[in-house]
Amino acid sequence: MKVLVIGFTKLAYMPYMNFYTEQLKKMNSNTSLLYWDRDLKPDIEAPIVNQLYCFKKSMSDSDSMIKKIPNFISFRRFAKKVITKGDFDLIIVLHSTPAVLLSDILNRKFNEKYILDYRDFTYENIGVYKKIVHQLINHSRLTFVSSRGFQKYLPDSDKIHVSHNLLLHSYADRNCRKTLPRNNVPLRIRFWGLIRHVEINMKIIDNLANDSRFELHYHGREQEPGRLLRQYVQANEINNVYFHGEYIPIDRVDFASTTDILHNLYENDTKTTYAMGNKFYDGLTFYIPQLCNKGSFMGEEAMSSGIGVMLDPSENNFSDKIFEYYQKLDWDEFTKNCDEALSRITKEYNNGIDVLQELLFCEKESLIKQ
> How high does pLDDT run on average in the chain?
93
Tell whether pTM > 0.95.
no
| Residue where a domain terminates, one of 139, 163, 187 | 163
User: Is 202 in the same domain as 330?
Assistant: yes
- What's the pLDDT at 108? 94
* Per-residue pLDDT tens over the stretch 66-97: 999 999 999 999 999 999 999 999 999 999 99
Does 191 reside within a domain?
yes
pLDDT of residue 370: 66
Are 176 and 263 found together in one domain? Answer: yes
Q: What gap in Å lies between CA 205 and CA 150, rounded to an integer? A: 29
Q: Strands 187-192 and 114-118, how do they pair?
A: unpaired
Q: pLDDT at residue 277 above 80?
A: yes
Contacts of 309 (CB under 8 A, 6+ apart): 289, 290, 291, 292, 302, 303, 321, 322, 325
Residue 190: helix, strand or coil by DSSP?
A: strand
If asked whether residues 94 and 239 sit together in one domain, one would say no
Do residue 85 and residue 72 come from a single domain? Answer: yes
CATH number at residue 6: 3.40.50.2000
In which band, very low, low, confident or very high, does the pLDDT at 201 lie, cut at 50, 70 and 90? very high
Same domain, 264 and 324: yes
Residues 312 and 184 in one domain: yes
Residue 263, helix vs strand vs coil: strand
Domain end residue (candidates: 137, 163, 189): 163
Is 252 a member of any domain? yes
Mean of pLDDT values over 332-355: 95
369 found inside a domain: no
Gap between the Cα atoms of 87 and 76, Å rounded: 17
Count the domains in the chain.
Answer: 2
**Segment 95-128, tens digit of pLDDT:** 999 999 999 999 999 999 999 999 888 888 888 9
Tell which wins on pLDDT, 237 or 361. Answer: 237
Residue 136 has pLDDT above 70, yes or no: yes
The helix or strand, by DSSP H or E, that contains position 319, with its residue range, turns out to be helix 318-327
Residue 363 lies in a domain: no
Q: Does a structural domain hold residue 361? A: no
Is 360 a member of any domain? no
**Are the C-beta atoms of residues 57 and 45 closer than 8 Å to each other?**
no
Q: Residue 244 belongs to what domain range?
A: 168-343
Q: Are residues 196 and 116 in the same domain?
A: no
The residue out of 128, 163, 198 marking a domain boundary is 163
Residue 271's pLDDT is 79
Residue 114, phi then psi, degrees to nearest 5: -145, 155
Q: Are residues 59 and 153 in the same domain?
A: yes
Q: What is the mean pLDDT of residues 315-336?
A: 97
User: Is residue 239 assigned to a domain?
Assistant: yes
Residue 369 pLDDT greater than 80, yes or no = no
Q: Does residue 223 sit in the same domain as residue 110?
A: no
Inter-axis angle of helices 278-285 and 297-305, nearest 10: 10
231 pLDDT band, cuts 50/70/90, is very high
Is residue 202 one of the residues assigned to a domain?
Answer: yes
> Is-contact 306 328, C-beta < 8 A?
no
Residue 291, helix vs strand vs coil: strand
